[in-house]
Structure 1
């Protein structure tokens, strides 16, 4: 049985480290978006937000779901250096194969997407940035519950990109450099952290059989992340087929501001996932108590956050984006409903179903929600554009939350 003090130490330490990262994720966009929305003006700012969304979505192809599956494997292998090294070799081998797939997808977007061919420099920056983000090694440090150095470098890269943006982005024509600076800062951080992993596991070994093993083990989590992306990251890309980049930029800005509040919950959830996974196998009752406390906290935070965002939207939009973005206010008010829904679905799914390895029912819910969102997005975005897309996202997330809640209630939160 794990002692209480031995559990609290890494959990508290890693929660604090992750909150440092999340604070940078929250604060840096709040500082950079007001600046860029004013300097780049609505049209170029829309291109910037679209390409940023594109890079994040294709980086998820490379990450594949390893942020969950590999974190779980590393957490389960704590203390077994040989097994940890094997997971690392398999994951990196798989990421190399997935990079080729992501690049092919981005090439197709260049020829058939909504941006014009004159935006070739934006596409090059997007391709490189997606690859850099795809090799983010947080899964390794999160699984080992050793996040301090990784978090410091994440925060440092965010601050560096912010400084470069303020120093060198002075006119709309400089817009693509905002993406380049973010990419370069992250690349520097990830080279250092991947170098740390290289030293700890004795080098990287590329193996086709290892890649296949990692892809097989992470497939259910890839289905999860891919399906989730259909009603999260991919919505801006879908909207791009029905609306001009100015409207897409407005929707993505509202989505980013809305999820900034939710990002405050991310570190706690990330730190709790490997901890509950480790505890559940040795002390199910303690794991159950941890999950119940998380549920209560997430419910209170979610409802409070939604009310505040809805009420403050008319003040926040002009403050953050400036003038000319008034159409974002009603979008943000609809998206405020996501805060309690995502907060609770995170607890039910990540803190309960995954530690119990109930991947099948987990993915059935997520895949169904992705299909619901895709249908609603096509129907609503075509006629109502950004506000229609916002409702498609909210309805899909509500489906996920209530479906997972019913599974958890049926199983009485037992591990």
Structure 2
């Protein structure tokens, strides 16, 4: 339990970099870029984040789980590292072609400059090649957490200094892509130095892809949730709709992300517990759900009350539409956190990631379907309804399978 507490602390520190620093950036960018340029940046980042999911391919769970099982076998660890990197190289080539075609085809209601492709590509590589799975698997998270926080803080400082007008939109992408590449490259080189590399095996790469397929569907869909709003709104509603909805959604995502460090740190422990006693593991998960539900419901009520103050403080004038959107979106937090807990602490440790992945795919399909139906006429409110409907469906389905 002390190892879990330690890993939770370091993952929480990294989460500060991943969630709260972007929240600090929000008022800076919203005021400096304006709704139109800010919407373009969010759309470009949405494309990059969505694409990076297909490079990461769920290895943060599948490879970490495999690493837990071969912790004391150096040769197998080296082969696992090599297989994962080989698979990601192949995936990145396919994804790069797809993104280039999307950008140069001119599809969608939001236009972004073609020369942004370089920074979008670097952003994809930075997030897709993250070696976090290795550090989670060996339960040594101090260095990547501190590096992440330091680099993101540096990126925030550069953003405050260098971004002051709508024509500085590209600088945002340049800063974030550069920070992301360094944040991935340094831990990756240290990982390779520690484990070494085995001979490249295309069969081994294919094998890890097959093993990660269900987790890719789950984790990929979960990650796409973070960028799908800006992507769909950019395609269907234009840059202004993105600028109105995404800031409120970012607050909800940040609140939901607070649970991720605890759940990810507990993941290796639950893998071990369920192998000894599935009943004990289920009891732990049940108690965790009760605690999370109580805390998040209180948070949602407070947010509904404080929504006008939060929006005005964080975003400034011109974002009044975000107040009502935030008051609805915040009810996603209890649903999403409890669904995450069920997947990470129960279905994935017991090897039933297929359940979690299929339910998550249903979630994405509901969002896409309702977005196409509602966004053209309702804008951000249509996307809000789509998100809330999908989260309710996912939570109900996961609870049904958990108690079945």
Partner residue of 1:256?
250
Deviation at 1:79, TM superposition (A): 2.2
CA distance in 2 between partners of 1:374 and 1:26 (Å): 25
Q: Contact (CA 8 Å) 1:65, 1:225: kept in 2 or not?
A: yes
Partner residue of 2:54?
61
Partner residue of 1:41?
34
Describe the shift of the 1:203–1:249 C-alpha distance in structure 2 as closer, same or farther (beyond 3 A). same
Q: Which residue among 366, 378, 381 is the counterpart of 2:375?
A: 381
Q: Contact (CA 8 Å) 1:198, 1:204: kept in 2 or not?
A: no
Partner residue of 2:291?
297
Deviation at 1:230, TM superposition (A): 5.7
Q: Contact (CA 8 Å) 1:92, 1:206: kept in 2 or not?
A: no
Deviation at 1:279, TM superposition (A): 2.2
For residues 131-164 of structure 1, what are the alpha-carbon distances to aligned partners after superposition, in whole Å with 9 as ceiling and x for unaligned? 1111111111011111111111111111110111
Partner residue of 1:71?
64
CA distance in 1 between partners of 2:65 and 2:290 (Å): 24
Partner residue of 2:73?
80
CA distance in 2 between partners of 1:118 and 1:190 (Å): 26
CA distance in 2 between partners of 1:117 and 1:394 (Å): 28
CA distance in 1 between partners of 2:226 and 2:140 (Å): 29
Task: Give yes or no for the alignment of 1:404 onto 2:395.
Answer: no
CA distance in 1 between partners of 2:183 and 2:364 (Å): 33
Partner residue of 1:338?
332
Q: Contact (CA 8 Å) 1:65, 1:221: kept in 2 or not?
A: yes
> In the TM superposition, what are the counterparts of 1:221-260 in structure 2 within 5 Å?
221-228=215-222, 231-260=225-254
Partner residue of 2:141?
147
Q: Contact (CA 8 Å) 1:250, 1:327: kept in 2 or not?
A: yes
Q: Contact (CA 8 Å) 1:93, 1:205: kept in 2 or not?
A: no
Structure 1: gaps of 5 or more residues: 1-7, 411-415
CA distance in 2 between partners of 1:310 and 1:71 (Å): 38
Could you say what the CA RMSD is over the residues aligned between the two structures, in angstroms? 1.7
> In the TM superposition, what are the counterparts of 1:47-196 in structure 2 within 5 Å?
47-110=40-103, 111-114=105-108, 119-196=113-190
- TM-score, normalising length: structure 2: 0.95
CA distance in 2 between partners of 1:293 and 1:264 (Å): 18
Deviation at 1:118, TM superposition (A): 6.0
Q: Which residue among 343, 348, 356 is the counterpart of 1:362?
A: 356
Q: Which residue among 4, 27, 44 is the counterpart of 1:11?
A: 4
Q: How many matched pairs?
A: 403
Q: Structure 1 residues 187-196 or 200-209, which shifts more?
A: 200-209
Deviation at 1:70, TM superposition (A): 1.2
Q: Contact (CA 8 Å) 1:373, 1:392: kept in 2 or not?
A: yes
Q: Contact (CA 8 Å) 1:334, 1:390: kept in 2 or not?
A: yes
- TM-score, normalising length: structure 1: 0.92
Deviation at 1:122, TM superposition (A): 2.6
For residues 69-120 of structure 1, what are the alpha-carbon distances to aligned partners after superposition, in whole Å with 9 as ceiling and x for unaligned? 1121112222222222222111111100110121112112202433666612
Deviation at 1:292, TM superposition (A): 2.5
Q: Contact (CA 8 Å) 2:217, 2:358: kept in 1 or not?
A: no
Q: Contact (CA 8 Å) 1:231, 1:374: kept in 2 or not?
A: no
Partner residue of 1:310?
304
